[in-house]
Amino acid sequence: MAGVSRANGHRFKGLQTTESGVPAKLRPDPDKWAFDLDEALGAVFGYHADIPEDAFTASTLGQEREGNAILIDDRGHLLTIGYLATEADEVTLSDVEDTQFSARVVGYDQVTGLGLLRADSPLDRRPMTLGSVDDLRVGDEAVAAAGGGLDFAMVVSVVSKREFAGYWEYLLDEAVFTSPPHPRWSGAALISRRGVLVAVGSLYVQDSLPGEQTRPGNMFVPVELLHPIFEDMTATGRAARPPRPWLGMFGAEVEDRVVIAGLTDDGPADDAGLKVGDLVLGVAGEPVGGLSDFYRAVWALGPAGVEVPLDVYRDGELVHVAVHSADRRAFLKTPNRH
């Protein structure tokens, strides 16, 4: 993804959308939802941030980040997806009337994938109540909402709830998958029938259904992952847990095996001599299968800094490589919290 200047699901080319928002036939009818839809949608703001050219994630996540953020309390805290906030500092928010407000990044959490902001001035909107994805069942309808009010809200179906492993060393025990895909999914709000926020938009996916079935949609991160880390995030900008070991590699699953599809330049895996195309067979002498098994095996060895012994298959030979892991945050610019 080198050379990316703008990223993160804003007006994604190829998805059905119009300049005035999502198609009218896909928007929710306020009379058919048992809560004040306009009030709930008013808590969803458009998000824009410019990232320094020399930021670690500038070439992969873009220097211009656009998406959404959701007001969650009376202190002006807003929840978004973490990659929008990573290495960002000053943020511009826009409400349903396109009035702009300034905000700052409080912090972002690599484990959950969530980001937290704080507005610089009162937003004069009612915060959205946080719920839980436990309230959602497969087959339920929900509202996926981007900033801009009803024009950018869409009725979606919950098509699956399952584990998600991301190629960037990321794992959720349970994520929510919806369809059809929202054209502005990054940081979008997933609102249940009860009118509460249950998840935050993360990805456009081709496989919202598990197995061999395919259906395009979005992956959402459960909001209840915020509860255990919220106070730490507001106080220090990060969760009070030991950082996980980070290898700086991008993995792909091929027949329940992990293949190295990319490496971070000068990252731990690159420095250790791993190569694109290496097939990872084991961690610390124990066999591993797909990405989930691989990540759990690496993280079980200890916190960031631990040595990670890998068994890899390369050019017909078994190769043993020891990777000195790192704290991913050490490579990132930290937000100015004042």
- Closest alpha carbon to 97 in 123, 127, 119, 78: 123
- Residue 292 parent element (H or E): helix 291-299
**CA-CA distances (angstroms) from residue 198 to 15, 72, 128, 261?**
24, 12, 10, 33
What does the angle CA 99 – CA 86 – CA 123 come to, to the nearest 5 degrees? 25
The two beta strands, 286-287 and 279-283, are antiparallel
What does the angle CA 83 – CA 3 – CA 178 come to, to the nearest 5 degrees? 40
Per residue, what are the HEC states of 222-234? Answer: EHHHCHHHHHHHH
The pLDDT of residue 4: 34
The pLDDT of residue 215: 85
* Residue ranges in the chain modelled with pLDDT below 70: 1-20, 211-212, 336-338
Task: Using DSSP, state whether 135 is helix, strand or coil.
Answer: helix
Residue 326's CB is within 10 A of a number of other CB atoms, namely: 20
Q: What is the DSSP letter of 130?
A: B
End-to-end CA separation in angstroms for the chain? 32
The pLDDT of residue 173: 97
Q: Give Cα 43 distance to the centre of its chain.
A: 19
The two beta strands, 217-222 and 249-254, are unpaired
pTM of the model: 0.92
- Closest alpha carbon to 77 in 182, 229, 220: 229
What's the rounded Cα separation, in Å, for the pair 146 and 148? Answer: 6
Cis amide prior to 180 (ω within 30 degrees): yes
Spatial neighbors of 234 by CB under 8 A, at least 6 apart, are 77, 106, 116, 118
Encode pLDDT of 186-239 as tens digits.
999 999 999 999 999 999 998 887 766 778 999 999 999 999 999 999 999 999
Task: Using DSSP, state whether 158 is helix, strand or coil.
Answer: strand
What's the rounded Cα separation, in Å, for the pair 331 and 87? Answer: 10
Spell out the domains of the chain, with CATH numbers in brackets.
Answer: 1-241 (2.40.10.120), 249-331 (2.30.42.10)
The pLDDT of residue 10: 43
